Structure 1
Amino acid sequence: MTTPDPTSPVARLLRYANEVHALAGRCGRPDLAEVLAASAARWKDECTDIVVAGAQKRGKSRLLNTLVGHPDLVPVDADVATNCFLSLRRGPRLTAVVHRSTDKGPVQTPITVESIPDYASMRGDAGKRRDVVSVDITLDNPLLDGLRLLDTPGVDSLTVGHRQVTVAMLQRADALLFTLSAQDQPVLRHELEFLAEAAERVQAIVFVLTKVEDSTNWLSLQEENKARLRTFVTEAITANPDRTATLAPLLEAPWIPVSSKLAEAAAAKRREGRVERADTLRARSGMDVLERHLRGFAEGRESARGATVVAAALSVLGSLTTGAKDDVAVGSDDEGDLTTRLAEVDAELEALTELAGRRRAGMVANTFLGREVGGIVAARVAEIRQPYENVIATLKKQEQVDRYMAELPESVQRSLEAAWSQIVYDVETLARTTLNSFARDLGLDPVEFAADRRTMPNLTQVQIKGDQSANEPVNVDMVRDVLPSVSMGVSFGGLAAAMLGPIGFLLIAPAIGAAIFMGRRSLEKVQRSQAAVRGALRDQFSVIAREMTLDLERMVATWRVGVEQAADDSLLRRRKELETRRAELKSASARSAADRQKARQSGQDRITAINTLTARGHELRSELAAAVAALGAGPATAPQA
């Protein structure tokens, strides 16, 4: 890496970071010094890391494929797998390597490019996906020279682990591309909350509006997105002015409308030798504007990376301030200063005692989660069972019963598999809402509770076929949408095939899968009479509901215990910190006057140094923000259909 100009913001940043690091050491806080050291550790990495994030179905993966010129490289029909990310960097040829974290240590396994979805997609093979941390893809594309693109799980996914993996990736990010779609709803609250977290870690942020080619109102949608972002940032800053420096730059971040579809069409025309038409489509796609920003990030990585170091330094300085102010109070000529500091600590301890009481009340409320799980399962199972019973009631002739029974076992199996997916969604939503409310009530950040694979259902995958001919029976049901035909004289195929199409993969816990399979076998053997079919159907749904409830109650109990333990650990840690401060403040009164005066002078000196470094940090951050904003700047061409 070229040595920076000693007067440049980057050179001054390096000196600044060293000064903050040294101050933390002098203050006896090696833990804080290590925080800054970890943030600066990547400084010599000459590859710029750009995290590509966004909600599911926002066009993120197709955008990546288009950027690197391989339409089928990254799976676009399913989210990136939990605890996994995809890394795309330049290499001499197209390769893929899976990285796993096992009990015996990290393991790397070369795979074929065609098998990437098996290891990295939520629609892939569960066995192959196990323990996968990342898939490293290399390809010879000049755009990736000095760049590494990181494809992350959807930030809106309720699959446990997705969002926190993406947030964790921001720790190593130099820039963030955040995707929104011109064909979907405007930016949602959870996306804005993710962006607020991202802004704490990354200063170089670009909004990419995808799928503009088929949207007639993408400009108005973009303006609505900007308005929602502006409202969110304004409210957050009003509630906490200290967040101004991190959140305000979001309002200045560039918005780039793009069309992967037009870019792919341009590439096709170029292969046909129609260069002029290809150039026109390429210009309309907006991809050149986006690539200019990416190249700008690569060329100005020091500015983007420096913003992360400044943020870490300011955080360290904030933590050092408390101890310095305590020392000033210890040596003050006014005994009231020490009394005031002690009173503040006692007030915080009293507040913690109150929080402990609320924690106990919240714990009692959380115990009802298990009961609510049973209600969710019962309601969903009844919802899909009733239409079957309604149809059975219409079967008057034996030939109708026989014909219906030829389709029923597999149809019920598919309905239950689809129901399981919806039930898991409902339960995760309930648990996440309840437990995060519990955490917020204790003054804690929302808790991201990760699943423990030893206690969670060991999920396997059941492939459901689709694409049958409209003239053939379609033995697939989707809850509320596709059910066995009420009119037994009508083919099952028409409506179902039109509404359903390929289903893909669903996740089924082994015990539930076994119960569904056994229930199907029972239905296949049941006596062909209306009463017998109705009874067998009710028995099967009852057994499945019981298995689902047990699995989900165990899952929720694990999450509940984990969140409550995290809350207890946080409260205990805060109490220990406050009690240590109180003990140190009280013991100060027994020191000699000379020692107390020395402590006061030391505290004042540190506060002066902290204030000076904090002011310099904000100045550097502003300079770096301006440098980041200029990266890739230039006239943008709006895509056209």
Structure 2
Amino acid sequence: MTTPDPNGPVTRLLRYANEVHSLAGRCGREDLAKVLAACAGRWKDECTDIVVAGAQKRGKSRLLNTLVGHPDLLPVDADVATNCFLSLRRGPALTAVVHRSTDGGPVQTPITVESIPDYASMRGDAGKRRDVVSVDITLDAPLLDGLRLLDTPGVDSLTVGHRQVTVAMLQRADALLFTLSAQDQPVLRHELEFLAEAAERVQAIAFVLTKVEDSANWQSLQEENKARLRTFVTQAVAENPARAATLGPLLEAPWIPVSSKLAEAAEAKRREGRRERADTLRARSGMDVLERHLRGFAEGRESARGATVVAAALSVLGALTAGAEDDVAAGSDDEGDVTARLAEVEAELTGLAELAGRRRAGAVANTFLGREVAGIVAARVAEIRQPYENAIATLKTQAQLEKYMAELPESVQRSLEAIWSQIVYDVENLAKGTLNAFARDLGLDPVELAADGRAMPSLTQVQVKGDLAADDPGQVDLVRDVLPASSMGLSFGGLAAALLGPVGFLLVAPAIGAAIFMGRRSLEKVQRSQAAIRGALRDQFAVVAREMTLDLERMVATWRVGVEQTADESLVRRRKELEGRRAELKTSSTRSAADRRKARQSGEDRIAAIASLTTRGHELRKELAAAVAALGAAPAGTPGS
């Protein structure tokens, strides 16, 4: 690691942070000193964390494979699993370790590299990927010297938890690579919204345009992406000028066009001994430019981390100002100064009481979230049931009925799995919007819902309550009643495929098995007629909707209670601070003239120190922002040309 310039912004930042920390301690605000200390806690970490994010099918996993020289290391045909990320760091050998979070605590399990997709891919084994938090991969790749690359779930996934996991990873990120594809549609609204969230947490950001090898107009697509980003940032800043400081750097972030395909071809030519051709393909791939950016991020990680420390220091200084101003007023010879200051504190306490009232009213309004959840489930389930109703009406012959019944369980299961993801997505957005408004009304930061990767609720009780209830439970043949339905092929011909229409296939919980929704024996008891099939479907969909609603209502209730508890803690903390200030101001008149002068001088000194430190903090922020913008700067290549 390079030694920081003794007169450079990083060294001055460390001195600055120490000064703010000491000032908070002298002011008796150890709580604020701890905030700053926690923010600087990662300073000694000599490994630069770079999060690689993007929508599904944007080429990020293949990009990572190419960067570390292992084309088959990470699964490229499926998204990273819910609530999971993949960490690539340097080590003496190629290894993989699965990290799980269980009721009994964290568990680490070594696995073979070949089995990584089973634990970390949405197309993997549902049993194996349960409770998986991360997969830590080590390999002896020179690029990873001092770097840790983090592959994250797609930010556009409908599966709850994907976006939250990626956003959470940014809390530990020194830099972000955001991938877009030259063979796909331009950047979309939800991607831009993710970038806005990312910019609040990390300053060092670079855009990577993948798959440029076969795109004749990647330059025009890149310009369109830049234009969309510019429009988004302009509109966001117009609505809230305070966001200019965080969103502005997105417009200055570098764009790096790359081609994993050309890089892989270059390695193939190199193995054949065709070095000149390999060098040409490598240059066209853009990978060398990207690697220079990554090395720049590693060498300049102090600048990226420093920007976060400055932001925390400025927040601490703002909190210290009120106490200093109280001391100046308390030491004034003019009693009107204390009276005016007391009036301000009383007004804040009155406002806090009003907030408490709004908190109670908001909590009542939040209770109606459950009813809205039921409406979302009912609408979405009806949406997928209707195509089945329409298809049933077209069945005219017994042969058609028999074929339809044979394909129905698997088709319905796939439809439910797909719609479940959309339902959870809808509910999450509803809850986040409502609870964010609740928090914002109380002056709190936006909420981060602790969403988990929810599988569909177990529906085995449907069988027990249904036609199987009349049978001896001991006579249930799991091989006959469950496995045949759950192991049917993924492709359906004719009518079954047409049923799904626009509803995509999404393996959220394959272990449920189609028979859990509708047991094979239950189907055998249904009379082969349009009316009987339609009635059975309606009954089963009604049970499914009820079970989904209950599961989601519990989830929303947990979120609601968590946000309301945070609000209560904030209100109590703010009231305690204000009451302490009021008590100090009221007792000021009982102090001696000498003590009042001493308090006033102390307050004035602190105000001057805070003002000076605040000015220096803003100057450092500008310097660090410029340093971050310059990380990895290199001439742009022209891949694919």
TM range (shorter): 0.7 to 0.9
Distance 1:153 1:538, change over 3 A: closer
Q: Which residue of 1 aligns with 2:501?
A: 480
Q: Which residue of 2 aligns with 1:279?
A: 279
List runs of 5+ in structure 2 lacking aligned partners: 461-482
Deviates more, 1:440-449 or 1:178-187: 178-187
Distance 2:363 2:225 in 1: 38
- Secondary structure, aligned partner of 1:589: helix
Contact 1:463 1:504 in 2 (8 A): no
Contact 1:327 1:600 in 2 (8 A): yes
| Alpha-carbon shift at residue 20 of structure 1 (Å) | 1.9
Distance 1:49 1:397, change over 3 A: closer
Distance 1:313 1:180 in 2: 35
Q: Which residue of 2 aligns with 1:107?
A: 107
| Alpha-carbon shift at residue 25 of structure 1 (Å) | 1.5
Q: Deviations over 1:485-520 (max 9, x none)?
A: xxxxxxxxxxxxxxx7xx46223796x9775133x5
Distance 1:570 1:209, change over 3 A: farther
Distance 1:424 1:197, change over 3 A: closer
Q: Which residue of 1 aligns with 2:577?
A: 577
- Secondary structure, aligned partner of 2:590: coil
Instruction: Return the TM-score normalized by structure 2.
Output: 0.85
- Secondary structure, aligned partner of 2:501: coil
| Alpha-carbon shift at residue 451 of structure 1 (Å) | 4.0
Distance 2:348 2:148 in 1: 45
The answer to whether 1:85 aligns with 2:54 is no
Distance 1:380 1:613, change over 3 A: closer
- Secondary structure, aligned partner of 2:518: helix
Q: Which residue of 1 aligns with 2:174?
A: 174
List runs of 5+ in structure 1 lacking aligned partners: 483-499
Distance 1:335 1:259 in 2: 73
Distance 1:616 1:590, change over 3 A: same
Q: Which residue of 2 aligns with 1:402?
A: 402
Distance 1:273 1:167, change over 3 A: same
Q: Which residue of 2 aligns with 1:223?
A: 223
The answer to whether 1:48 aligns with 2:48 is yes
Q: Which residue of 1 aligns with 2:355?
A: 355
- Secondary structure, aligned partner of 1:41: helix
Q: Which residue of 1 aligns with 2:613?
A: 613
Q: Which residue of 1 aligns with 2:518?
A: 517
Distance 1:382 1:41, change over 3 A: closer
Distance 1:429 1:477 in 2: 30
Contact 2:387 2:499 in 1 (8 A): no
Letter in 1 for 2:547: E
Q: Which residue of 2 aligns with 1:534?
A: 534
Distance 2:610 2:578 in 1: 22
Distance 1:191 1:581 in 2: 45
Deviates more, 1:226-235 or 1:564-573: 226-235
Identity, % of aligned positions: 83
Number of aligned positions between the proteins:
618
Q: Deviations over 1:125-147 (max 9, x none)?
A: 34433443332111111111121
Q: How does 1:136-175 map to 2 (within 5 A)?
A: 136-157=136-157, 159-175=159-175
| Alpha-carbon shift at residue 291 of structure 1 (Å) | 0.6
Q: Deviations over 1:400-456 (max 9, x none)?
A: 433433333443333333333333333333333333333333333321221479999
Deviates more, 1:618-627 or 1:191-200: 191-200
| Alpha-carbon shift at residue 188 of structure 1 (Å) | 4.5
Distance 1:559 1:224, change over 3 A: same
Contact 2:417 2:506 in 1 (8 A): no
Deviates more, 1:91-100 or 1:429-438: 429-438
Distance 1:278 1:31, change over 3 A: same
- Secondary structure, aligned partner of 1:212: coil
The answer to whether 1:373 aligns with 2:368 is no
Deviates more, 1:631-640 or 1:618-627: 618-627
Q: Which residue of 1 aligns with 2:393?
A: 393
- Secondary structure, aligned partner of 1:623: helix
Distance 1:83 1:325, change over 3 A: farther
Q: Which residue of 1 aligns with 2:509?
A: 507
Q: How does 1:230-249 map to 2 (within 5 A)?
A: 230-234=230-234, 244-249=244-249
Distance 2:205 2:39 in 1: 18
Letter in 2 for 1:427: V
| Alpha-carbon shift at residue 315 of structure 1 (Å) | 2.6
Distance 1:252 1:300 in 2: 17
Letter in 1 for 2:508: L
Q: Deviations over 1:549-602 (max 9, x none)?
A: 322333333333333333333333333333333333333333333222212211
| Alpha-carbon shift at residue 17 of structure 1 (Å) | 2.2
- Secondary structure, aligned partner of 1:206: strand
Distance 2:330 2:239 in 1: 33
The answer to whether 1:206 aligns with 2:227 is no
Q: Which residue of 1 aligns with 2:468?
A: none
CA RMSD of aligned residues (A): 3.4
| Alpha-carbon shift at residue 316 of structure 1 (Å) | 2.3
Deviates more, 1:355-364 or 1:592-601: 355-364
| Alpha-carbon shift at residue 183 of structure 1 (Å) | 4.1
Q: Which residue of 2 aligns with 1:490?
A: none
Deviates more, 1:13-22 or 1:573-582: 573-582
| Alpha-carbon shift at residue 333 of structure 1 (Å) | 3.1
Letter in 2 for 1:296: G
Contact 2:455 2:508 in 1 (8 A): no
Distance 2:240 2:9 in 1: 28
Contact 1:330 1:338 in 2 (8 A): yes
The answer to whether 1:594 aligns with 2:615 is no
Contact 1:75 1:117 in 2 (8 A): yes
Contact 1:36 1:309 in 2 (8 A): yes
Letter in 2 for 1:203: Q
Q: Which residue of 2 aligns with 1:264?
A: 264
Letter in 1 for 2:428: E
- Secondary structure, aligned partner of 2:507: strand
Contact 1:89 1:147 in 2 (8 A): yes
Distance 1:54 1:347 in 2: 47
Q: Which residue of 2 aligns with 1:32?
A: 32
Distance 2:585 2:184 in 1: 57
Q: How does 1:114-125 map to 2 (within 5 A)?
A: 114-125=114-125
The answer to whether 1:297 aligns with 2:318 is no
- Secondary structure, aligned partner of 1:6: coil
- Secondary structure, aligned partner of 2:294: helix
Distance 1:15 1:350 in 2: 40
Distance 2:136 2:453 in 1: 24
| Alpha-carbon shift at residue 296 of structure 1 (Å) | 1.6
Deviates more, 1:605-614 or 1:570-579: 570-579
Contact 1:329 1:338 in 2 (8 A): yes
| Alpha-carbon shift at residue 94 of structure 1 (Å) | 1.0
